[in-house]
Structure 1
Amino acid sequence: MIKRTTFLIAACVALVTTASAQESKQWFKSPRVAFSNQSRVDDLVDLDNDGDLDLDLVGRHTILNNAHTPATHGLKRQYGQGTPGSAGIEPRLSATGPFIAGQPASISVTGGVGGSSMILVFGDQPLDHPNTPLPGLSLYTNAANTSAWTLGGTYGVPGTGTIQLNDVVPSFVAGQTYYHEVFLFDPGVPGYITHTGGLQISYQ
């Protein structure tokens, strides 16, 4: 199973890299929008359960997945749509700032299969390619960089797989914007691979 998982993840990375290298035009979907039929703002909750501590408005409002407090602290934006994994749970990718050089920040993944492997990909250009790198998946970044990680959580249990990657923002990314996505091994879905939506982070 370990060899099979490694092969599938490696194949996915190769397909992502090839697909992004062949594309010259970059497009991405509008940010997802959350709606509620309530008549007023009733509460502030982590409605999308992505673990980024952003509180979403509950009420008759439209909420775009943008965050900057204030703009000088950088910006993040979730866009696109992930693919549901085992038990119909969609993995989520988010981040917590401030996104300022020299300050601590983190990227988090929730909703995967506990103990499974994942590949974080990111680049400096957004994409929106359906059925790439495999049928049923979508590619949301040119994926110039990749790194492999293992989720925590209860081994083999859908939805319990999480990870938080903490680091200090390096000075060389100040003024830069990067687009991220995660592909996850999931034995309960066709092709054994699922993915998150895209995540834009603009650093100051």
Structure 2
Amino acid sequence: MGKFLTDEQLVIRLHESNKQAFEEIYDRYWYKLFCICYHQLGSKEDSEELVHDIFESLWYKRNETAIRNLSTYLVISIKYRIANFIKSQITWRKYREYMILNKIHETYSTEEIVRFSDLSKAVDEVMSRLPEKTSRVFQLSRFENQSVKDIAEELHISEKAVEYHITKSLKALKEGLWMYQSNN
């Protein structure tokens, strides 16, 4: 079976719960989907996991899904999974940074920002009181958007140390800038 069947014939057999048809679809499309994932994510493990999820979903939803063009369906499915995966990778740390910086903007009135001359000066003031390495790590993370792994490699420190410095920076920002907030 398999090699001589069209995609359309395989889809019909898949709907009939034919495992050989499923295996043929897997063999035909696994590598293509893996390459799409790997190109986007750069991680073999994550790419393999997403492709596995696509085929698992294809099997479990074989009776619910109307597939007109198998190749298009699989490519769109993997691109959707990739997009969701990337969104889910916004880590708790990034979320906390966003919340703190957003809170700073909400907290300061225009008048207060003018009084401080410039919000970035207030941030610079707090950062200047931190140890040089802590300040550098935060700068690379927040303003140069580097990953924890890249910062660790660049500064020759562990990823745990990078996380520690980022947490320390966020705490200092939170404490150092809250004293300027209005009491309203």
Q: What TM-score, normalized to structure 1?
A: 0.23
Structure number with the bigger relative contact order (C-alpha 8 A, sep ≥ 6) is 1
Greater helix share, structure number: 2
**TM-score (structure 2 length as normaliser):** 0.25
